[in-house]
Structure 1
Amino acid sequence: MTGLPWDASYQDGPAPWDVGGPQQAIVRLAAQGGFAGSVLDAGCGSGENALYIAALGFSVLGVDVAETALATARSKAVARRIDVEFVAADALRLDCLGRKFDTVLDCGLFHTFDGEERRAYLESLATVTEHGGTLYVLCFSDEGPDTGPHPVSREELTSALDSSNGWKVVTIEPDRLDTRYHDDGAPAWLATVERA
């Protein structure tokens, strides 16, 4: 919650999940018209997904607890001349942002939480997602060889995203999550979820 362990991941070179560009799943979603209105990238890290989406013309806010990652993201935005905002925020207290978003992206954050934290996290996301808005969750899957750390089963993902905390699952599809340790990405789930 302090962000210190996450910040340490960025201090000696790129973090394992920092692949130097947007996730392929995010590029595909964008090509399919998956983003609309204002966009929140929760757990944005060094900003590659947020920068990619903002470069397409969307208003994007990236949030993370790792100050080193945010500083890197801001430097990239300046160097690339992309208008995007990066701020420090606790994913379990997103209501503190005082804003709502039409599209919310979680790329590699959901699977880092345990069961109780997942519920609190999804409730936090609900406070900043417009009714009828879309949440995308790209997380490590427990299916297939060479899974990433903290893999999630389809059942765990489905049960966390239930209607009692304001969500309606549209689809959960197998995908890949790019890392610096997997040649073609680790097994992942891509969930498309609607804010009820």
Structure 2
Amino acid sequence: MPEQPEDRTGDRLGSRRPTSHERSSGRPWDASYQDGPAPWDTGRPQPAVVRTAAEGGFTGAVLDAGCGTGENALHIAAEGQRVLGFDIAATALETARAKAADRGIEAEFVTADAFELAGLDRTFDTVLDCGLFHTFDRDERMAYVSSLASVTEPGAVLYVLCFSDEGADLGPHPVSPEDLNDAFSPSVGWNIASVEPERIETRFHDHGAPAWWARVDRVRAADNAT
């Protein structure tokens, strides 16, 4: 039997436990990209990302968590930032790398598990989570937040774009502000600076789906503070 490929965290992809979304849908993430564009793949960066990039919100080394086919990462990289995008879906990463080559944009795209980011062996000043956080259940969110902490230091900034639980024509896996506060608490090294209403563009929402755009600051964990 051939050996399973290894991801950048050193874990074997074949042994990765499916996420709650994969278990409920009965499909691995990569399958979403194999029969045409995924529902969330609009072929352009999200408006909140474009706006924040124009305002200088992405600084230093940038991590795009769950980068998909790379539109957000490529937009940020085109603005002059050093960007690493990761995903678990190999098909999406192949597309992202092809886009970068075609557009002449320097951006790095790697396979990695969102729960094992320490294996990247680097840290980031800014992190973008566009549509990843809301796919996890409560226990997964705790593990994910801890994983993000392993690649950031106090002073780093995280932006989260996730489906909202308020409004009409909601997207799947809607999140409440309380969910964000529970996951990103000072006790585990985070502080939510702002949560604003936003829209997520998808291929199935004419005017975008209700969303939250949160800025989360990486701080020293309260239970370890002196």
TM-score by length of 2: 0.85
> After TM superposition, which residue ranges in structure 1, 4 or more long, deviate above 4 angstroms?
1-4
Helix, strand or coil for the counterpart of 1:169?
A: strand
Structure-1 separation of matches of 2:33 and 2:45: 17
Which residue is equivalent to 1:71?
A: 94
Structure-2 separation of matches of 1:164 and 1:123: 11
Gaps of 5+ in 2: 1-15, 19-26, 220-226
CA gap of 1:134–1:77, structure 2 versus 1, over 3 A, is same
Residue by residue over 1:78-99, the C-alpha shift from the partner in whole angstroms, topping out at 9 and shown as x without a partner, is 0000000000000011111000
Whichever residue aligns with residue 5 of structure 1, its letter is: P
Gaps of 5+ in 1: none
Which residue is equivalent to 2:160?
A: 137
Which residue is equivalent to 1:24?
A: 47
Which residue is equivalent to 2:68?
A: 45
2:142 maps to 1:119: yes
Which residue is equivalent to 1:154?
A: 177
Which residue is equivalent to 1:167?
A: 190
Structure-1 separation of matches of 2:141 and 2:167: 23
Helix, strand or coil for the counterpart of 1:91?
A: coil
Structure-2 separation of matches of 1:110 and 1:6: 14
Q: Identical aligned pairs, as a percentage? A: 66
Structure-1 separation of matches of 2:217 and 2:80: 22
Q: CA RMSD in A?
A: 1.0
Which residue is equivalent to 1:92?
A: 115
Structure-2 separation of matches of 1:165 and 1:94: 16
1:55 to 75, 78, 85: 78
TM-score by length of 1: 0.98
Which residue is equivalent to 1:179?
A: 202
Q: Which has the larger radius of gyration?
A: 2
